[in-house]
Chain A
Amino acid sequence: MNFFKRAWLNLTAKKGRSILLILVTSAIMLFVLAGLLIRNAADTATNNAKQSVGATVTLSANREAAFKKMRSSTSTSKTSRPKLTTSPVKLSDAAKIAKLNNVASCTATVSTSANATGFDAISTSGSSDSNGGGMKGMGGSTTSSGDIAISGVTSTSATSAFENSSSKITKGRGITTADEGTNNVVIESELAKEDSLKVGDSIKLKATTGTKKTYTLKVVGIYKASSSTSTQQGPGATDPANSVYTSYTFANTVKGAKYKNTADSVTFNVSDPAKVSSVKTAGKALINTSKYSLTTDDSSYQTVKASMANVKSFADKIVWLVAIAGTIILALIVILMIRERRYEIGVLLSLGEARWKIVAQFFTEMVMVLIVSIAIAGAGGKFVGNQLGQQLVSQQTTTATTTSSTSTQQGPGGSGAPGSSGTGSVSAQKQAELDINVSVMDLVELGGFGLAIMFLSIMLASGGILRLQPKKVLID
């Protein structure tokens, strides 16, 4: 194995050439590593998105079927005005779906409204007067007409508004499952300020339907809705500051006795977004699809996934382009090196050295250069990868945001109710950040690429060695 020693002697004797080789190889390795890092980071981001962005399946009334039913009744009954009748979701049905595989948790939502009694609701120019204002929206409910929008939930932290931080608890606490059966309420900070309400105070709400009973609620928390949520309302909607959160049981009580153990909708959180379709299919088998519908929402995951797929695809292109260009560049360098060292090769051949050992000497020299280059690339790869990766991500996020904003714009009459705004893109942007770090595995992968590049370039150049005749070099 004398070729190892020869390779080492050659590299150390010709320092200038060795440094140039190291610089060229380092540049190639740096870009290959940057590509690998971005690719791996995109993979990790996509996997993280699976874990944290999540996806949901929502069980709610089948409005399409209800409309069909309404139209058919219109054709048969000309005397009375047709009425859209939807069935509230039975919690017993929801419980069956909650037991399916991949369903991590579920949250029920009941929307209704009531009139403020003993305190003033926030009045805006877009909304009607405080008594019997035209409240609409609230997740599709059509039963409300009060000035306070009540969002009955299982837990505030499970609602999209709180999940994506467009609403935050500033004082006290949010609604939890422990609040089931209680009259606890979480109110908006502007409403609290306007009426000098604080945690521990009581407010009164008067139902707008049925017995029109007045309920006393205890303020257990105050939340702050972001300005973007506050401004997302159309004409006819009550001010978002008039939105309060209670447990879904209280909202059902306000709606009436027949709504006990029901919900407007139940949202199931699916642990693996890739399984959304299978959960939906399995769920449909458990419900009466003429009454209820199951809709899926994995837009956040899809946004991140698409964004990361683009980044990964670009990173793959970088890796392959640099690898191919690097192979060609190094092959040319080795070819030139072989031409320069043909006398040395001739002497080795005249001494009876096997040609493969001469090729092995060149390969060993390049591997020694590669080891130093990988160390240099390892030191600089994180920086280059970060710069390149964040540039790519910012481009991808801009595209994703544009797409999301188009799909989440609300039209006139849209709800100002909490949690109703489409803010999936916010979480998507959060997840679409690359965490670029150089690990040992990255360096091993880079080493593999480097070896392949070196092997190919030496093979491309070794034709010169294999064809070389010692007589022609040394005597002719």
Chain B
Amino acid sequence: MLKANDIGYWYDRQENSLFEHVNLEFKSGHSYAIVGQSGSGKTTFLSLLAGLDKPRAGQIELNGEPINQLGLTNYRKSHVAIVFQSYNLFTYMSPLNNLLTAMAVTSSSHKGDKKFAMDMLQTLGITDEQMTKNVQKLSGGQQQRVAIARTMVCDAKLVVADEPTGNLDEENTQYVIEQFQKIAHEQHKCVIIVTHEPDVAAACDYAYRLAKHEFTLEA
């Protein structure tokens, strides 16, 4: 589904590149973890896959088509859903409106379907009362669930998550891990998670380690 073709990235000089000549393939129905030390370039790699930035070398292909040709805005809108460590929800909205807004912006096939969004929130443990409250009144774990629900109501086949359990306790971490696996295996989407946590990496189907500017598949 998604292919990194010989991509490289550096900030100021190529000699100080974060990584170069990376060739990886990510398939639908699987979950992938990217692990590595802080500052190794994991999140930067994820931002390239999410279409938030462009690689300095090489190209990323979606189903054989370079994402640059699709247009990064269009690519993000139609093909990618992103979950962040700090949730990045619309703070002035309720959980329900967060989902409805995401569905409207991404032109989801369920656009405007309030019941669909409510069912999704309920599935992730958000009560009816919590759905219409301001999202900031929810706990961190609940907010991350809303963020995950947001990726599930959109039609994007690629879900990328940057440290999604970084701010969560053990119980919520376990819950979030399970949800991502469901997204990959039940919704048949491609899930790519950047994480520091071994439990999260272990739960994924594949884990790549970024070290010394290279990706290696872990056993």
CB distance from B56 to the nearest CB of A (A): 14
Query: Interface size (A, Cβ < 8 Å)?
Result: 23
Known: A9-B97, A471-B53, A475-B52. A2 touches B90 (CB 8 A): no
Q: Is the CB of A347 within 8 A of B50?
A: no
> Does A257 lie at the interface of the complex (its beta carbon under 8 Å from any beta carbon of B)?
no
CB distance from B49 to the nearest CB of A (A): 12
The proximity string for A residues 341-354 relative to B, scoring 1 for CB distances below 8 Å and 0 otherwise, is 00110111111111
Give Cα distance in the complex from A424 to B91, angstroms.
Answer: 69
CB distance from B105 to the nearest CB of A (A): 5
The chain B residue sitting closest to A344, CB to CB, is: B90
Contacts of B101 in A (CB 8 A): 2, 5-6
Give Cα distance in the complex from A2 to B99, angstroms.
Answer: 12
Cβ < 8 Å to B, chain A residues 301-351: 343-344, 346-351
Contacts of A349 in B (CB 8 A): 73, 76
User: Which among A349, A351, A353 has the highest number of chain B CB atoms within 10 Å?
Assistant: A351
> Does A13 lie at the interface of the complex (its beta carbon under 8 Å from any beta carbon of B)?
yes
Known: A13-B93, A344-B90, A351-B106. A475 touches B162 (CB 8 A): yes
The chain A residue sitting closest to B79, CB to CB, is: A352
Known: A352-B73, A352-B78, A475-B162. A13 touches B92 (CB 8 A): yes
> Does B14 lie at the interface of the complex (its beta carbon under 8 Å from any beta carbon of A)?
no
> Does B84 lie at the interface of the complex (its beta carbon under 8 Å from any beta carbon of A)?
yes
The chain B residue sitting closest to A348, CB to CB, is: B105
Give Cα distance in the complex from A6 to B93, angstroms.
Answer: 9
CB distance from A161 to the nearest CB of B (A): 72
Which residue of the partner chain, among A13, A346, A352, A471, contacts B105 with CB atoms under 8 Å? A352
Contacts of A352 in B (CB 8 A): 73-78, 80, 105-106
Contacts of A347 in B (CB 8 A): 88-90
The proximity string for A residues 1-20 relative to B, scoring 1 for CB distances below 8 Å and 0 otherwise, is 01001100110011000000
> Does B104 lie at the interface of the complex (its beta carbon under 8 Å from any beta carbon of A)?
yes
CB distance from A349 to the nearest CB of B (A): 8
> Does A474 lie at the interface of the complex (its beta carbon under 8 Å from any beta carbon of B)?
yes
Q: Is the CB of B76 within 8 A of A474?
A: no
Known: A5-B101, A352-B105, A475-B162. A10 touches B92 (CB 8 A): yes
Q: Is the CB of B88 within 8 A of A9?
A: no
Contacts of B106 in A (CB 8 A): 351-352
Known: A471-B53, A474-B88. A351 touches B43 (CB 8 A): no
> Does B201 lie at the interface of the complex (its beta carbon under 8 Å from any beta carbon of A)?
no
Contacts of B80 in A (CB 8 A): 352
Q: Is the CB of B92 within 8 A of A9?
A: yes
Q: Is the CB of A471 within 8 A of B77?
A: no
> Does B134 lie at the interface of the complex (its beta carbon under 8 Å from any beta carbon of A)?
yes
Q: Is the CB of B82 within 8 A of A350?
A: yes
Give Cα distance in the complex from A346 to B97, angstroms.
Answer: 17
Give Cα distance in the complex from A346 to B101, angstroms.
Answer: 14
> Does A234 lie at the interface of the complex (its beta carbon under 8 Å from any beta carbon of B)?
no
Q: Is the CB of A14 within 8 A of B92?
A: yes
Q: Is the CB of A350 within 8 A of B134?
A: no
How big is chain B's contact interface, by range? 20 to 34
Contacts of B76 in A (CB 8 A): 349-352
Give Cα distance in the complex from A469 to B47, angstroms.
Answer: 11
Cβ < 8 Å to B, chain A residues 349-405: 349-354
CB distance from B219 to the nearest CB of A (A): 29
> Does A470 lie at the interface of the complex (its beta carbon under 8 Å from any beta carbon of B)?
yes
Contacts of A474 in B (CB 8 A): 52, 82, 84, 88
Contacts of A10 in B (CB 8 A): 92
Q: Is the CB of A353 within 8 A of B77?
A: yes
Give Cα distance in the complex from A231 to B44, angstroms.
Answer: 96
Q: Is the CB of A343 within 8 A of B74?
A: no
CB distance from B109 to the nearest CB of A (A): 15
CB distance from B181 to the nearest CB of A (A): 23
Which residue of the partner chain, among A14, A353, A471, contacts B52 with CB atoms under 8 Å? A471
> Does B102 lie at the interface of the complex (its beta carbon under 8 Å from any beta carbon of A)?
yes
CB distance from B69 to the nearest CB of A (A): 16
Contacts of A475 in B (CB 8 A): 43-44, 46-47, 52, 84, 162
CB distance from B44 to the nearest CB of A (A): 8
The proximity string for A residues 58-69 relative to B, scoring 1 for CB distances below 8 Å and 0 otherwise, is 000000000000
Give Cα distance in the complex from A72 to B105, angstroms.
Answer: 98
Q: Is the CB of B77 within 8 A of A346?
A: no
Known: A2-B104, A471-B47, A474-B84. A350 touches B92 (CB 8 A): no
The proximity string for A residues 435-476 relative to B, scoring 1 for CB distances below 8 Å and 0 otherwise, is 000000000000000000000000000000000011100110
Contacts of B44 in A (CB 8 A): 475
Known: A350-B50, A350-B82, A353-B77. A343 touches B162 (CB 8 A): no
Contacts of B92 in A (CB 8 A): 9-10, 13-14, 344
Give Cα distance in the complex from A10 to B101, angstroms.
Answer: 12
Q: Is the CB of A13 within 8 A of B134?
A: yes
Give Cα distance in the complex from A347 to B162, angstroms.
Answer: 14
Known: A352-B77, A471-B52, A474-B84. A344 touches B91 (CB 8 A): yes
Give Cα distance in the complex from A344 to B91, angstroms.
Answer: 8
Provide 30 A-B residue pairs closer than 8 Å at the C-beta atoms, listed in order of the A residue.
Answer: A2-B104, A9-B90, A9-B93, A9-B97, A10-B92, A13-B92, A13-B93, A13-B134, A14-B92, A347-B90, A349-B73, A350-B52, A350-B82, A350-B88, A351-B102, A352-B74, A352-B76, A352-B78, A352-B80, A352-B105, A352-B106, A353-B73, A353-B77, A353-B105, A474-B52, A474-B82, A474-B84, A474-B88, A475-B47, A475-B52
Given contacts A9-B97, A344-B91, A475-B47, 13 further A-B contacts (CB under 8 A): A2-B104, A5-B101, A344-B92, A352-B74, A352-B75, A352-B77, A352-B106, A353-B73, A353-B77, A470-B52, A471-B47, A471-B52, A475-B52
For the complex of A and B, the 8 pairs showing the least CB-CB separation, nearest first, are A352-B77, A13-B92, A2-B104, A352-B76, A471-B52, A351-B105, A471-B53, A347-B88
